[in-house]
Chains A and B, each alone.
Chain A
Amino acid sequence: RKEVEQDPGPFNVPEGATVAFNCTYSNSASQSFFWYRQDCRKEPKLLMSVYSSGNEDGRFTAQLNRASQYISLLIRDSKLSDSATYLCVVKRNQGGKLIFGQGTELSVKP
């Protein structure tokens, strides 16, 4: 079993839709949580960190449930430019190692 699991998708949604991505992690020693975005043939870029209290950045909302070891990302009012692969990432503070999920592909259509 992979340490970080995501639904690989693809998710095909129309512009303006709300889409939710889920992620689970297996190592309770994980300390920090992130969503990264990766465009086709490009490097991953940090989208947002995820905090226990939940956090929002514009159209993006991230939630963390430590008890269930579950992370989510909600995208409201999807734009064509949101099309990308979304990577769920956990980190154990020791060594700074990032552990990536396999990514969820999102395609937003006109």
Chain B
Amino acid sequence: GNSVTQMEGPVTLSEEAFLTINCTYTATGYPSLFWYVQYPGEGLQLLLKATKADDKGSNKGFEATYRKETTSFHLEKGSVQVSDSAVYFCALSSGDSNYQLIWGAGTKLIIKP
């Protein structure tokens, strides 16, 4: 079945460091891929998405490229800030007839000043 695997956290970085959070997936067909972010005490919110192979999603300095050959959708940011501290979830949607999202376990990111 469809699944999403994320790197385990917490990931702890210093401010201005480069960030990579790995996400790989297993899916049939051509899923859409998403990164959601959850700030402390809040619900999840969409950070970026990509709907087909080689698409790059970007938002707030974060980027992720849909790599079908490696079944990956890694999240990157060139210079993180303390305000980026949150939990990041990778997710996929399996197709047009199913509006559910398959979620990764989430990766907690801690940025130290």
The judgment on whether A and B are partners is no
